[in-house]
Amino acid sequence: MSGNNKELSKHDQDPEKKERAAFADSDALTARECISNVFGPGEFKAENVTCSSFGASDGADSKYFGGVYIGDGKVVAIPHVEAMQPMLIDAIAKTTALFGESYYEFGSYCGGAYIGNGKVVAIPSCARQFMLIDARAKTTALFGEWDILLSRYAGGVYIGDGKAVAIPSDADQPMLIDARAKTTTLFGEIDARAKTTALLREIDAVAKSISLFAYDDRASQKFCGGVYIGDGKIVAIPSHFDQPMLIDAKAKTTTLFGERDEARYKYRGGVYIGDGKVVAIPYNAEQPMLIDAIAKTTTLFGEKKDPAYFEYSGGVYIGNGKVVAIPLHAKQPMLIDARAKTTTLFGERSNEPGAKYCGGVYIGDGKIVAIPYDAKQPLLIDLGPGFRSSTPLNEQALLSAWFNKF
């Protein structure tokens, strides 16, 4: 048989395998080289884990919503309700420091995206504009179209070339952010049943004020957090909305997929684990959810727990298909093993009342920093000797899909 007529390989015949290979091979932000050796042996043993608080004590509530690692043990915490400035967390020096202009808007920002060179884009929830945080220069600057809508976005995802995508919460469309050009562009479409027409507003454009006089949460808090999976595509994590959404920033399209679940407050944040797959972190949901954006499927797994009160908020990838879920109202962190389809609580139980942490980041050498929400201080989770590594997280890793995603 001639070479031109030879039978196609099994790989070439399978569109799904071909698409997975394209994601893995062609996108620098999802390449496994980004995480090569950073997790050491990757041997998790609950008895080796230690947790300790550090930094200045702050008794305010609802302070920060997510954090972004910028290298050298430093994390930028994103200001939310009571905090009026970003906070720089130094996990090596065990210090915390506020910086930048003081800015207050109730529920101002939800999550951020690292865009390189120590710069972070904070994603507006109730704030009127995006915030560019320069952690090295210790400055903050607002940019983008002035808007008075409430709870617009929750979480953002870096997609390369200085651009990020904001994940719609009450907003009806994703937004493309160009942090270099300081521009913002709406694109895509969400199913008509999610349109925010149920949120009726009385707007005073002169006073730049807003008051709500009717509200239906079916159209609110649609998604919370997103995960880049390669080729310009992002998975938006469902909160009130009944399915995940695939955002294609290149084609400027949005597509819903997976099993429908009409529960509220299901998931908060997700974590990329490779091959187009994402783990959604259970907020009020009974189990984590494995989202396969290529096969367009969703699967619940792990031990089923009683519906709880806002258990976890955000997660951190630690290699080999494993994710650490960050405790909000939960008493302990949770290890999610997406390959074994198991969940395990670990670490010392906390009896502190209220919401503790919102989001976390992996800073290398087996260490995770959890961002304080109602907690008075950041929390350092040390996974122990099974994760020791001399390979630091370089700039390529920090910009990649594997890290810094709320």
Q: What is the pTM of this model?
A: 0.90
Q: What is the phi/psi pair of residue 31, to 5°? A: -60, 135
Q: Domains along the chain? A: 27-399 (2.120.10.30)
pLDDT band of 23, cuts 50, 70, 90: low
Averaged pLDDT, 194-206: 40
Averaged pLDDT, 184-194: 75
Q: Which two tokens stand for residue 392?
A: 């630091």
Averaged pLDDT, 174-201: 72
- The 8-class DSSP code of residue 97 comes to E
Averaged pLDDT, 228-241: 94
Q: What tens digit of pLDDT does each residue of 246-257 get?
A: 999 999 999 999
Q: Which two tokens stand for residue 46?
A: 């609950």
Question: How do strand 223-230 and strand 233-238 relate by DSSP bridges?
Answer: antiparallel
Q: What tens digit of pLDDT does each residue of 347-358 get?
A: 988 888 789 999
Task: Name, in order, each residue with C-beta under 8 angstroms of 318's C-beta and a sequence gap of 6 or more.
Answer: 39, 42, 44, 324, 362, 368, 383, 387
Q: Residue with structure tokens 């997406």?
A: 338
Q: What tens digit of pLDDT does each residue of 54-107 get?
A: 999 998 889 999 999 999 999 999 999 889 999 999 999 999 999 998 887 766
For residue 250, the one-letter residue type is K
Averaged pLDDT, 181-200: 67
Q: Which segment of 35-39, 186-190, 342-346 scores lowest on mean pLDDT?
A: 186-190
Would you say residue 53 has pLDDT above 50? yes
Would you say residue 126 has pLDDT above 90? no
Would you say residue 147 has pLDDT above 80? no
CA distance 98 to 109: 16
For the chain, give the percent of residues with pLDDT over 70. Answer: 85
pLDDT of residue 406: 75
Q: Which two tokens stand for residue 304?
A: 């089923």
- The DSSP string of 215-251 is --GGGSS-EEEEEEEETTEEEEEESSSSS-EEEETTT
CA distance 331 to 176: 37
Averaged pLDDT, 222-226: 95
CA 143 to centroid of chain Cα atoms: 22
For the chain, give the percent of residues with pLDDT over 90. Answer: 69
Q: How does the average pLDDT of the chain come out, rounded?
A: 87
Averaged pLDDT, 188-200: 54
pLDDT band of 172, cuts 50, 70, 90: confident
Q: Which segment of 39-48, 189-198, 327-336, 371-380 scores lowest on mean pLDDT?
A: 189-198
Q: What tens digit of pLDDT does each residue of 283-316 get?
A: 999 999 999 999 999 999 998 876 667 899 999 9
pLDDT of residue 233: 94
pLDDT of residue 248: 95
Averaged pLDDT, 309-338: 95
Q: Which two tokens stand for residue 205?
A: 């454009």
